Amino acid sequence: MLRSQFDQELNRMHVDLDRMCHLVVCAIENCVTAFKEQDYELAKDIIRGDKQINDVERSIEAECLSLILKQQPVASDLRDVSTALKVVTDLERIGDQSADIAELILEMQEVDSFLMIGHIQEMAKVATKMVKESLDAFHHHDLKHALKVKDMDQEMDRLFEKVRADIVQMIKESKDKGDLTINFLMIGKYFERIGDHVVNICEWIEFNQTGKLNNQRLI
């Protein structure tokens, strides 16, 4: 009876986690579209949608804590619940950074400004791919896939260095675009941070499968 109740609560938590994953994937995809197409209404939708992501995160956290405190899970179940608690934190941060990018998009009203730093669009594509593939690895408990996604962060870091070089060149060529260049730098940095949060998710997938984090056994 107790196990049946535990499984029901665990399933409810996973349903909410799937919902949060969907919302975050939509946020990052919409962020890329809003940036590329200068879609200011879509940017506003991203900002409004961040509250929904936060609400689902709080619901999942409450469900996880209830499972730990009331159901006394065994080691494998405890890893599952602990992983969910950590993953939702990174998902919420990805949602926040998508909203931060959307706010910067709303500030960038200059014609064709989105075409000025081409490597930002490359970062956006890599960030979207990393988020979607890390969540696919998470849902399928695919450690091998997670490790491949984790390695993609090197490409993200490389692209961010190119964005910084692009911005330096833009400043040299046009000293009257100070605010615009700062916004570009911040957008690049937010995409780079999204990559970092994906790395965290991949590391928690590894923990879920092995009980180890950074080669140290936790559970």
Does residue 60 come out as left (phi exceeding 0), alpha (psi in the -120 to 50 range) or beta? alpha
CA geometry: angle 129, 133, 134, nearest 5 deg: 115
More confident residue, 40 or 212: 40
Contact present, 52 and 96 (Cβ < 8 Å): no
Instruction: Give the confidence band of 76 by pLDDT, cuts at 50, 70, 90.
Output: confident
What is the tens place of the pLDDT at every residue in 135-173?
999 999 999 999 999 999 999 999 999 999 988 888 888
DSSP 3-state of 216: strand
Contact present, 200 and 90 (Cβ < 8 Å): yes
* In the chain, domain spans: 2-217
- The count of residues in the chain is 219
**72-81, 168-177, 193-202: which has the highest mean pLDDT?**
193-202
DSSP 3-state of 213: strand
Q: Going by C-beta distance under 8 Å and a sequence separation of 6 or more, which residues neighbour residue 23?
A: 49, 52, 53, 56, 95
Q: Is the pLDDT of residue 116 over 90?
A: no
DSSP 3-state of 212: strand
Write out the CATH class of domain 2-217.
Answer: mainly alpha
pTM: 0.91
